[in-house]
Chains A and B, each alone.
Chain A
Amino acid sequence: MTEKKWYFDASNPSALPDDLVPVLEDKGIPLDHVRLCVKSDLSLNMTRSDTYLLLCGDDDLISISGAVSLFRRPGTTIFTRKNRLERRFETDEYDVFSLSALSDFKVEEQIASCRFTAKTESGDYILLANLSNSYKSDFYTFSRFLGEFKKDGKITPDEHASHGRDSMFCPKCGTRYIDEERKLCPKCMDKSHIIARCGEFVLKYKKEIVLLILMLILTSALGVLAPYISSEFYYDEVLDKSGEFYGQILLVLLIIIGTRLLNVFFNVIHSLVTTTIAANVIYDLKKVIFSSIEKLSLSFFTNRQTGGLMTQVTRDANTIYWFFCDGVPFYLVNIVQIVAILVILLVKNAFLTLLTVVTVPLFFFGMRYLFRKMDKFHIKRWTRSRQMNAVLSDILTGMRVVKAFSKEKDETVRFDKSSRALASAEIDTSTFATVAFPFMDLCIYISNLIMLGAGGWMVIRGTMTYGTLLVFIAYMNMILSPLGSFVNMIYEFTDSLNAMSRLVEIMDAKPDVQEAENPEHFPDGVCRGQVEFKNVDFSYEKNRKVIDGVSFLVEPGEALGIVGHTGAGKSTLANLLIRLYDTENGSILIDGIDVRKLAYDDLRQNVAIVSQETYLFMGSILDNIRYARPDATEEEVIEAAKIAGAHDFIIQLPDAYATVIGFGHKDLSGGERQRVSIARAILRNPKILILDEATAAMDTETERKIQTALERLSEGRTTITIAHRLSTLRDADKLIVIENGKIPEAGTHAELIAQKGIYYNLYRLQIEAMKNIGIEE
């Protein structure tokens, strides 16, 4: 019996589970007094039970803990089919708190569970609920609603909220969705839809597919014909005196050669067709997958491991091709062939056929069992080989540390352990295979024995000819030999289906950040460079704000500096401005236009970012700088490199601008890479330039030089600089300090120093550090 689970729903937070209705009625609480109701799975005593926290009326915060039990309804017997059982919620604990006496609602995260607490009027803490992490996000929302209610006396449901935890589980079978957004249940997945979507790739080559299947049919028809000619026809009609073609051996030989030749011909055509569509289909698949992936927003790539994704893509493309071009046709043709042979055999001698087919189910189920078992061995081997590779790459990457602490011996032991584990799994796998499969061959052998015995007896009694017996044996083997692969079919098809659903998932995945349908452009295509953040909220994870109500304004041509601790949200601000992510609440405006409405081209053309992580593509330094503007002249490239302080080191390189990074073991240092990236951004000639710790890997002198150059260049250009080192920011017109996603301080350097706040402290610390090494500023 699948019971409907009840979950908190932020779009309808007053919804009640049916279980609670009798409890509330019992306590005399009108149901429409319930304003909020949230569920947790742990009671106040940390025992697992259904616990609900309700806000009723204007001031009652009620905690109800208990469990659902099933009872037999009075008047029913065990034979009653319907409504025999009654659900009843048995209350164990019932507490009422007064909302007005409480404040500071907080979800306190612990190791693997949370506590929901509040403060009383006297300043003491009070525990309102315990919950496992599964209910964490529900309680965060609940806590927010409570706060709102205390403040404004009303609750505004989140209209756009997905329907609580309900949206995380398949409504049909209750299985957790793999991806909440996509609602794809691995159990109830619409398989035919997925196959149809992927089939499109193959069906493009209709003619070839038809040809392919035709060839397969012809080959198998010949396959059925061949044993007949070489045994029954040969022995009974040619070698036997009573035969119609007695003595015409040459004729038979010619027929045999003819069928062989035809067979070869069909096979060649089949292979030719296969190779062409295989390459094309795989190419098409990869192209579609790659372009779909590229369209996705950055969050997709941070959620999944990108490297694994690409290998998956390549493997999936092959698997999907296999399914449509090898798998399905192979099985179809084989099934047709087996049915045809069975019909022939039944017509020829029904009794002998049935006698020999008896062993088939035995063989079939035996094989299935073995394959399942084999599968487990394979998973084990796979896991262990993954483990060994992980250890290996761990040790090799950390070789510097290993050597520094002379731990070579210990690491050898560690590697040896995982290597041995893999070896033992491999031995298990092959031992099993070598022992088990020969036994299965015995099954085939048994059916041969039955045939030889019973058939021989029939030949002696004269009820069957010698030729027919030989045909029987040949056909029987033709049925039994593909059976092995039939057993495996189920697994191979499941595999393909997985690959296909991944493909459909990627093709259907909607980017979180999308260009507006009717994007706006800058008036006359000219961007002035004014940037404004208005009450911007953002969180990577639900309910945990990284940016919390941030507002600031940068006028065209101004230089803004952003300071703050690591993880305070500085880089997030930059990512939001260039729309790698979108804001949740509030808006970001460039020249008064919301970036979400701005055309991608206008945005990317006018805003450039140089970030901490610099990435140079394969190719020469010239290509890398020109990446921003492929039509830039050589002079422009050199100029940009000069401003970025890159020209001087580039010109020292043997191949100068044509230096291919990585070629001849020439790699650039972190600081050099940063300078190339800056040149790239300068070449773009953006109205708004964001430098996100862009000079962090350089020495202060180089940094200074680049800054002076940038300054000269920055006339009429808005610059946003994010830095740890305060000296980097000393020329900024305005500074903002980011802490915990908020802006507690903003102003010029002098103003902030006068405020004696966070900035002052940071500044003092850095100055002191300088003094310690003998530099006074």
Chain B
Amino acid sequence: MAEQNRTALKEVVSVTYITKDNAKFEKSSDFIKMTATLPNEEGVAEEKTWDRIFLHRAFPFDFPFAYISVLDADTKELGMISSVDDFDEETASLLRAELERKYYTPVIKKILSVKDKFGYSYWKVETEEGEIEFTMRDTFSNLLKVSGTRIFASDIDGNRYEIPDIEALDHKSFKKIELFL
């Protein structure tokens, strides 16, 4: 049944996959350049070079390095990468670095203090990159629980912070965040 559905869907739309066979990625100064043979609007394969491409995760929390959408400068999708690991080591690490840079999110190791005032909360945390202070509006709705224990916090400016596993936090830190969960 599912198989039937998929073939039916394929006739209507098809996703272009970007693989090691049809595309090459290169570093160009601080960005990524792509040369690929992809179907153009008429559906005919054509080799082209994009001076700068953008990467976007389709499932950012579950698959940070798989199901990656490749976009051009006008945010039009050129194709999808099934998994970064399908490429050679050099390309994979280039793509990985670019993704990690784009999804920059400090990881909270320890919560030093949380003060709740007037519906705003003032946080002081320790991350891998040192101590960070931030402010959250409507704390309850701005703590995103991705799984049972993985949490993202979004502060008043739109910065994000991750706690990969709240249960792995020390007891004091856990107690501080537990109030909001």
Contacts and interface: CB of A to CB of B under 8 A. Distances in A.
| Chains A and B come from one and the same complex | yes
B105 A112 contact: yes
A175 B120 CA distance: 11
A376 B177 CA distance: 11
A112 B144 CA distance: 14
Interface in A124-168: 124-127, 130, 132-134, 136
A383 interface: yes
Contact of B102 (A111, A132, A175): A111
B132 to A, nearest CB: 8
A178 B118 contact: yes
Given A110-B103, A112-B105, A47 B159 contact: no
Interface in A99-125: 110-113, 123-125
B159 A126 contact: no
Nearest to B105: A112
B104 A123 contact: no
B147 interface: no
Given A112-B159, A127-B29, A178-B118, A380 B179 contact: yes
Contacts of B51: 123-125
A499 B154 CA distance: 26
Contact of B129 (A47, A127, A187): A47
Interface in B73-117: 101-106, 116-117
B17 interface: no
A44 B180 CA distance: 35
Given A111-B103, A133-B157, A383 B31 contact: no
Interface of B is mostly: loop
Interface in A535-565: none
Interface residues of B, number: 34
A505 B116 CA distance: 18
A110 B98 CA distance: 12
Contacts of A47: 129
A124 to B, nearest CB: 6
A136 B180 contact: no
Contact of B104 (A111, A134, A136): A111
B105 A176 contact: no
A132 B130 CA distance: 15
A124 B129 CA distance: 31
Nearest to B139: A383
B174 interface: no
Interface of A is mostly: mixed
B5 to A, nearest CB: 16
Contact of A132 (B52, B117, B118, B159): B159
A324 to B, nearest CB: 20
B133 to A, nearest CB: 9
B140 A383 contact: yes
Interface string A360-381: 0000000000000000100110
B156 interface: yes
A130 B119 CA distance: 31
Interface string B137-181: 000100000000000001011111000000000000000001111
Contacts of B29: 124-127
A176 B137 CA distance: 11
B30 interface: yes
Contacts of B106: 48
Interface of B: 28-31, 51-52, 60, 101-106, 116-120, 122, 129-130, 132, 135, 140, 154, 156-160, 178-181
Going nearest first, the 8 A-B pairs with the smallest beta carbon separation are A112-B160, A127-B30, A133-B158, A186-B117, A176-B135, A134-B157, A48-B129, A113-B104
Given A48-B106, A123-B51, A501-B118, 18 more contacts: A42-B104, A44-B30, A110-B103, A110-B104, A111-B102, A112-B103, A112-B159, A112-B160, A124-B51, A125-B31, A126-B30, A127-B30, A134-B157, A136-B157, A136-B158, A187-B117, A376-B179, A383-B180
9 contacts: A42-B104, A112-B159, A124-B29, A125-B30, A127-B30, A178-B118, A186-B117, A187-B117, A383-B181
